[in-house]
Amino acid sequence: MAGPLAGLRVLELARILAGPWAGQILADLGADVVKLEPPGGDISRPIARSYFYSVNFNKRSVCVDSQTAAGKEIVQRIAASADALVANLRPHATERMGLGAARHPRLIETHLTGYGWSGPYAKRPGIDPLAQALMGLERAQGGPDNPPVFPAQLAPTDYTAGAMGAFGTILALFARARTGIVQRVECDLLSGGIVLSSQWFTRYAGRPERPLSDKEQYGLHPFHRLYRLRDGWIYLVAESAGERRAVCAMLGVAAPQDALSGDGHPLGAPFARALAQRLQERATAEVLSHLRAAGVPSSEVRAPDPELFLADPHAHANDMVAVCQHPRAGTLRVAWQLTRFAATRASAGLATPLLGQHTIAVLREVGFGDKEIEALLAQGVVKVEPP
């Protein structure tokens, strides 16, 4: 089969990260995602190119000056051809553009915002580090004895909220098909933060204290932490009693009864220091071989280089890397098909578009003739960036 969303069109009015990530997931699943951009383009084109190439892969770009009367009409006609709208603008911005149930009664609207459509925070700027700060994620990342830490370049609430927005869009389309009911979907960065720390957003009698990393930020306790080895680093997670005995046997140490507790952080205890000292004398390949043979979950710690994944034989064996030619970037490799289906072929795999690259094609699809398109180009209402 074609992708599960093949035949559906999504109009994307989004920039930077959460909204475009939602659109990219939908495109990956087969939807025709038409990214609407102003004459200057999505602001992440020049300032965050790595983001842009990744989260706008497999989409088509239409560049329209929606401040003009002719541009407004183009947006309306594209919206009329769409099944869903994905936006990460301020609340009610799409209504001011004339997009909504009044003119498009079958259009599913998905809105990704910083803090939702209502409430005292609704008008605050929706920026990932601010949402992290408000939800306590930066304090949790820093640990109890450190100042807060910003996990640079990860944008966890953006990506989580974007994935939830894509999920909500699919469910709303499913509900529309079953019941005929058209509804708005809302997701925000605070919801993304809750997903990331969901077990701690509860209160009940006897709830244990949230475990946090040690001051050096190596991990939670001796059996759940980073270890420096002679020639690299590993992370091991020994949860069961058998796994922990295997770790101790490999290193020739005995675990005390209070190995995971005691005064201060567990990683400051003598037993934890002894494990670290023993492992620091061993080679990575040898340690991983022993741990995996004993069934102890563990992994080498790789450098933060995407090439390691994009060239990984496991990624290619599972068709998780798309390769295509981009007119500016040359050979473009992108992680894709993060959800795969046994009886579904991959989507088209379009290279990340240039600004307005598909403007003419989409205008034709929504009923504009060639002479009308020529006039719109001449007037600067629409734009096509040359290769």
pLDDT in tens, 260-297: 776 788 998 899 999 999 999 999 999 999 999 999 99
Please say if 145 is a catalytic residue. no
For residue 299, which of 291, 310, 307, 311 has the smallest C-alpha distance? 291
> What Rg value do the Cα atoms of the chain yield, rounded?
25
| Phi–psi pair at 225, nearest 5 degrees | -165, 170
38 exposed, middle or buried (CB, 10 Å; 0-12, 13-18, 19+)?
middle
The structure tokens listed for 165 are 């927005």
Residue 255: per-residue pLDDT: 83
Q: What DSSP string describes 253-276?
A: ----TTTT-SSS-GGGSHHHHHHH
Residue 15, both tokens: 């920039």
Mean pLDDT across the chain, nearest whole number?
92
List of domains in the chain: 9-197+314-383 (3.40.50.10540), 219-300 (3.30.1540.10)
Helices (H) and strands (E) in the chain, counts: 16, 13
Q: Once rounded to an integer, what is the mean pLDDT over residues 360-364?
A: 98
Catalytic residue among 32, 158, 188, 214: 158
Q: Is the pLDDT of residue 48 over 60?
A: no
Checking if the pLDDT of 337 tops 90, the result is no
Alpha-helical runs (H) found in 281-332 = 284-293, 306-310, 313-317
Average pLDDT over residues 65-83: 96
pLDDT number for residue 65: 97
